[in-house]
Amino acid sequence: MTNEVLQNWQFIFIFVALSPIFPAAPVILNRLLGPQKPNAIKQQTYECGIETVGDTWIQFKVQYYIYALIFVVFDIEAVFLFPIAAAWGLLGLFAVFEVALFIIILAVGLYYAWNRGALEWF
């Protein structure tokens, strides 16, 4: 029994042992084979190829948290709809009403947020 479990796991162990080699090898080979002639521009932080402006430690506009909150509406909707969809045949009319009610409540929430300007970027 114990042996069997170990045998099932041994592939995982092998993968875990091997997998670091793949990202590590190019980095190490690069270090070993490539010519090393640093200059000021090469030493800069790489940010999508655009020249860095100012300090990285600045305050960001937090408005996007409202988007995150509204996203949660859809998230929860999906989380609850998937299991219900999977058991659709068993549930009957009762579940249809429940789900309809649930979606209406979420829709009202979304409409409310929309109407209050939560989706405007300013």
Partner 1 sequence: MFAAPTLNLWVITPLIILTVWAIILMFIDLFIPAGKKQWTGWLTLVGLIPALALTLMQWGQTGGAFIAEGGQPMVVVDNFATFLNTLYLLTGILAVFISVSYIRDAGLERGEYYFLMLFSIVGMMLMGMANDLILIFLALELLSIPLYILSGFDTGSDTSEESALKYFLLGAFSSAFFLFGIALTYGATGTTSLPVILDTISLDDPLALAALGMLLVGFAFKVGAVPFHMWTPDVYEGAPTSVVAFMSIGAKVAGFAALMRVLGQGFPMWGELWQPAIVVISALTMIVGNFAAVRQQNIKRMLAYSGIANAGYILIGVAASATDPEAISASLYYMLAYLFTNIGAFAVVIAVEKLDGQKGLLVEDYKGLAKRHLLLSLALAYFMFSLVGIPLTGGFTAKFYVFGAGVTAGLYWLVVIGAITSVVSAFYYLRPVLYAFMYEGPAVARVSRGLMFVLVVAVFATLVFGIFPGPWYELASQATFGNVATFVAGG
Instruction: Tell me which residues touch partner 1 (CB under 8 A).
Output: 87, 90-92, 94, 105, 108, 111-112, 115-116
Nearer to partner 1, 58 or 86 (CB): 86
Tokens representing 15 are: 């993968």
Smallest Cα–Cα separation from 119: which of 62, 66, 61? 66
Q: Residue 3: left (phi > 0), alpha (psi -120 to 50), or beta? A: alpha
Smallest Cα–Cα separation from 18: which of 29, 7, 10? 10
Nearer to partner 1, 25 or 96 (CB): 96
Please state the closest distance from residue 94 (CB atom) to partner 1, in A: 6
Please state the closest distance from residue 90 (CB atom) to partner 1, in A: 5
**Angstrom distance (rounded) from CA 116 to CA 5:** 56
Please state the closest distance from residue 98 (CB atom) to partner 1, in A: 10
Nearer to partner 1, 21 or 62 (CB): 62
